[in-house]
Amino acid sequence: MSQPFTAIATLTARPGQQDALEQALRALVAPSRAEAGCGQYDLHRDLADPQVFYVIEHWASDEVLQAHNASAHFQQFQSSAGDTIEHFQLKRLGAIA
């Protein structure tokens, strides 16, 4: 099993789709926080660019994140919000101090 890590997901909404993307992201927060192995799942919006969202996540392992990605609520997000996303990036971070 892999070690715990923090992930930062950056999502940029397509022009005019920021409200729809925000609504879809908000719907992910509670069920994701309830998942076993999720230590943090916080949604943020960029103050300088309201089309950019960040999800700061902490997962117990890669396997737990894979289970999250396969969950019904995440699959629903992908199918309903996929067209609202212009850009997506996921950074995985390991704590060093």
Label residue 2 by pLDDT band (50, 70, 90): confident
User: What CATH number did the domain enclosing 26 receive?
Assistant: 3.30.70.100
Looking at the 3D structure of the chain, how many domains does it have? 1
The mean per-residue pLDDT over the stretch 58-67 comes to 96
The mean per-residue pLDDT over the stretch 43-72 comes to 97
Tens of pLDDT, residues 28-52: 999 999 999 999 999 999 999 999 9
Name 93's Cβ contacts closer than 8 Å, sequence gap at least 6.
5, 6, 7, 8
Does position 1 have pLDDT exceeding 80, yes or no?
no
Q: Where are the beta strands (DSSP E) in the chain?
A: 5-13, 38-45, 52-59, 85-93
Domain that holds residue 32: 5-93
Q: Report pLDDT for 8.
A: 98
Q: Report pLDDT for 79.
A: 94
